[in-house]
Chains A and B, each alone.
Chain A
Amino acid sequence: MRKLWKNRPMWIALIAIILLIVLAAFTANGRSGWPGDGLFRNAAAPVAEFLHTLERDVGAFFTRVFAPSEIQEENARLKETILEQEQRLALLDETEKENARLSELLNFAEENPNMRFVTASVIGRDSNPYIDVITLNAGSRSGVTEKMAVITPDGMVGRVSEVGPNWCRVKTMCDEKLRVSVIVQRTRDEGMLGGLYEVDGAVVGTMLYFLSGNADLRVGDTIRTSGIGGFFPKGLYVGTVIAVNTEGRGTHDAIVSMDVDFAHLENALIVVGVDEAVR
């Protein structure tokens, strides 16, 4: 017992504990009434703010280090959201492009009131790099019949070769056997268009034949359909002359460009009727 009395640190500790508990009891109903507290809190506020910032940063660091699963989960969620948004954007982009294409077709149809069109989308094509036959999603139910002309604002696409109830196959201008009667817009000279002109295996255009001997053909001349033969309506844009054969009579007279991108064609107009007065 005497030893215990001599243990000064223990007694100091006990007294301090009691005093501190009394102090804690005074602050049990909140420290706002405590005279020194407001002063201390005001002084400590910037320190606390700094420490809070540190806590947030340090906490974030440790979270990254020790709880990567949370980060991974959040990462996965964000990736999912991004993917979803990307899909939406892609869909929106696709819709926008389709809208632009269809608007272009509509404008073309409005510019040619003498013709009646059926708008169709490409639903199939040959796997060849330069496609000869494409399949459209319009058929006899829409009034499509064989040998009807298929066009786009960029030029001739081809001719309907086979028709189903809701589909048709179109022989494109790339087909070697397809012949179209055309006219040079500037000189009114008539000719025949058909067959691909290739240089080193690459198609550069179609060949133009049977122009009259004194025809004044120049590079840049516009070629349109003549309407002769009855398959293609008169006046449809075909292409422009990109080269003229100046070496006398040979295999062809000129090369005409094909502006239609057959490999990426998505929509086309099928000419289902033409005003007889024009035809």
Chain B
Amino acid sequence: MKRRLWLIPAAALTVFLDCFVFTGLSVNGIRPLFTLSLALAATGVTKVQDGMLIAFFGGLLSDLFCNPYLGLSAAAYLAAVTVMHGFVRKSGKKLWLFPLFAAVGAIAAETLIFGFSVVIGAVFDPLKLLRTTLPSIVLEALLVLPLSALFRSRIKEKGNAFVR
């Protein structure tokens, strides 16, 4: 557990980027969820527990600071991590496949958020899904590649103890 502690400030940093930096940079609402990408990269490269830790703390922090529904992002990120984990378990840790798995995970997360929103009375807007959500998912999936490379370089530095 001790070796995973650094993941919490890392998650907090990505939450800061999501809530306070990317919102300012978003074009027509298109912006990646950096926390989600980090959780997915961690799931792919190290262990699913790392991804879950980032997803849970990052999601909760994100909800506390910049979302109206407490726990929704955390749930969505956990869903994405679970989906990614399922794929990685089947196909092995092939870096080039990560963006694809991440995209499916991100779709799962967005579906959960979207479903919840519709249940509580949000208006279904297919154009918004097409114009903003889809490009955001692509960005999230692409972000997984450099983040995965970052995790891998850290594994090389720390050795197997980092993973185990």
Contact = CB atoms under 8 A, between A and B. Distances in A.
B19 interface: yes
A66 interface: yes
A24 B71 CA distance: 5
Which of the four size classes fits the interface of chain B?
Answer: 20 to 34
Interface string B72-83: 101100110110
Interface in B35-86: 48-49, 52, 56, 59, 63-65, 68-72, 74-75, 78-79, 81-82, 85-86
Contacts of B59: 20
B25 interface: yes
Question: What DSSP secondary structure best describes chain A's contact surface?
Answer: helix
Given A9-B48, A9-B49, A17-B79, A23 B19 contact: no
B21 interface: yes
A55 B120 contact: no
Which of the four size classes fits the interface of chain A?
Answer: 35 or more
A9 B25 contact: no
A13 B81 contact: yes
B159 to A, nearest CB: 23
Given A12-B52, A54-B20, A20 B72 contact: yes
Contact of A16 (B24, B48, B56, B70): B56
Given A44-B64, A55-B20, A28 B78 contact: no
A219 interface: no
A158 to B, nearest CB: 70
B23 interface: yes
Interface in A111-136: none
A4 to B, nearest CB: 10
15 contacts: A9-B52, A13-B82, A16-B56, A16-B75, A16-B78, A17-B79, A20-B78, A21-B116, A24-B70, A24-B116, A31-B68, A54-B16, A58-B21, A59-B24, A62-B25
